[in-house]
Amino acid sequence: MTPAQRKILNEAATSLGIDEASIHLEEFATIVQLILAYTPLVTTVHIATLLAGIVHDQWGYTILKQLAAQVPRRVSLDRLRNLYLEHVNDMNLGSSFCLQYFAGIFELAPFIDTLFMHPCSGIHLPAQIARPRISLVYVTNLILTQGDTPNNSLKWIVGDCAQLKYFRYYISGYKVMNRVIPREVVQSLRSHKDNLLSLELMLKAKTRSEYNMGISMAPCADGEQIVSLKVFSKLEILELNVPSILFPGADAPEYHTHVLKDMLPESIRYFCFITPQKECMANLNTVAYYRADFFPHLRDVYVINSSEVFPEQETAFDTVEIEATREKLWNAGVRFGHLELANPWE
């Protein structure tokens, strides 16, 4: 940054009552914060950064934190509704990308409705730093990709939302130590059982094959899977990669085809399964049979398969099996879609 550019930043910060030391921490963060401070009517913000931690013993966006502490405040971001936070490139820092880094934004923008964070490590701070005041009370649409996220951290984020309606949680390309399993995610969401409308979880790969930026994903073990979503009385949309569910194999002593019947709530209208197990089709046939009594609102079922991309998963369905399931669902008043992903390496 040239001296002339630095002078402009100094003048912009000084006019807001910000001490000059804060603007020397990190140039990109300084520019972003000053732009936000001078754009009070902004409604949507998307920040992609390489930096995600402590800089010179200071935590995150210190300029906005100073502005939030002013009495009376000179800056407000009350119009901000959609906040997209993204950490790019650095595989090591990315897994520790947490909400504290942007605490100043949350303090100045209390009415955020949509929060996207990639990746997210939730609420986590070194012991010597006091936890900032962050409120997500107005967030109804929460989209997170998995960082180094302990279960209690995810519970805090989800629990701080007053009426969460849309929740999406995805695998990220980062190698993480603390992995939240599907059952824990559902348990964290139980406080929103009466208002959650849409749930999308993409947390697992069914095999240990390496993909997604070379990170090896472990299969879902018994006890980690989602068992029931029936407590979510308003849930209409469900998207899962099926390794978040365990279908007993046809040769297993505990084999049955009521997994989906026992899991799905009565309110369900649409669900999509990605990379399903072979037993998925038999369970969909059971859903068709019980549709009128158990799932009166169900209209669409979609299956996205990847046996061409990952042939070792052995989830290819023959045409006869697919068409038989399609007919049963159609006769029950449900549209059925099936997509086989093409192999990108052929």
At 143 the pLDDT is 94
Place of tokens 């000053």: 34
Handedness of CA 288, 291, 292, 297 (dihedral sign): negative
Q: How far is CA 74 from CA 40, 62, 104, 332, in A?
A: 10, 15, 14, 60
Handedness of CA 324, 330, 336, 340 (dihedral sign): positive
| Full pLDDT tens readout for the chain, 346 residues | 788 888 888 888 889 998 776 666 677 888 889 999 999 999 999 988 776 555 444 556 778 888 999 999 999 999 999 999 887 655 544 445 567 778 889 999 999 999 998 876 655 544 444 555 688 999 999 998 876 666 777 888 899 999 999 999 987 665 656 677 889 999 999 999 999 999 999 875 434 444 443 333 445 677 788 999 999 999 999 999 866 888 888 888 889 999 999 999 999 999 998 877 788 899 999 999 999 999 999 999 999 876 554 444 556 678 898 999 999 999 999 999 988 765 544 4
Handedness of CA 284, 146, 177, 208 (dihedral sign): positive
What is the Cα–Cα distance from 318 to 339, expressed in whole angstroms? 13
Residues making up the chain, counted from first to last: 346
At 307 the pLDDT is 52
Q: Which tokens sit at 309?
A: 């991309």
At 123 the pLDDT is 57
Query: Helix, strand, or coil here: 23?
Result: helix
At 149 the pLDDT is 67
Structural domain boundaries of the chain? 3-300
At 171 the pLDDT is 74
At 2 the pLDDT is 82
Query: Helix, strand, or coil here: 141?
Result: strand
